[in-house]
Amino acid sequence: MSAQFFASTSINIISTTYTIECYPDLAGVMVIVCGAYRNIIGFGLSYGAQGFMNAVGVMGCFGTYAGILGGLGVVGIFFYVKGAKVRAVVNAWSWRRSVLADEHEHGPMSGV
């Protein structure tokens, strides 16, 4: 149980730190997005936990949760290996350039 808590907390901290370091101009948005995804995944895992545990047993339930967290960890390894290429693709998107142009012209958070 504590290993799953450690894994889910670590995934959230690492993903938030990675996105802030890669996209400092979108840091505020990325913190919100990472927190929202963490809450959505946490809700999804806990919403049907009792019924799932009754159906497959405690070990089956926690084994499935460990597999989900392991899969998210593999995604992290992918970004570690291919991160530069992913950042190059994302930075080439036209909406990204328009967001940066708006911030440079009007200042950050001008539309809020």
Q: Are 10 and 72 in contact (CB under 8 A)?
A: no
Measured between alpha carbons, how far is 18 from 47 in angstroms, rounded to an integer? 28
* Residues 8 and 42 sit within 8 Å (Cβ to Cβ): yes
**Structural domain tally of the chain?**
1
36 in any annotated domain: yes
Angle, CA 68 vertex, CA 7 and CA 28 arms, to 5°: 60
Find all residues with CB under 8 Å of 61, minimum gap 6, and list them: 49, 52, 53
Does residue 104 form part of some domain? Answer: no
Domain of 28?
2-81
In this prediction, residue 95 has a pLDDT band, given cuts at 50, 70 and 90, of low
Instruction: Transcribe 23-50 into DSSP letters.
Output: -GGGHHHHHHHHHHHHHHHHHHHHHTHH
Residue 98 lies in a domain: no
67 assigned to some structural domain: yes
Does pLDDT of 108 surpass 70? no
Q: Does residue 107 belong to any structural domain of this protein?
A: no
- Write the pLDDT tens digit of every residue in 24-83: 877 888 888 888 888 888 888 788 888 889 999 999 988 988 898 888 888 888 888 998
* pTM for the structure as a whole: 0.56
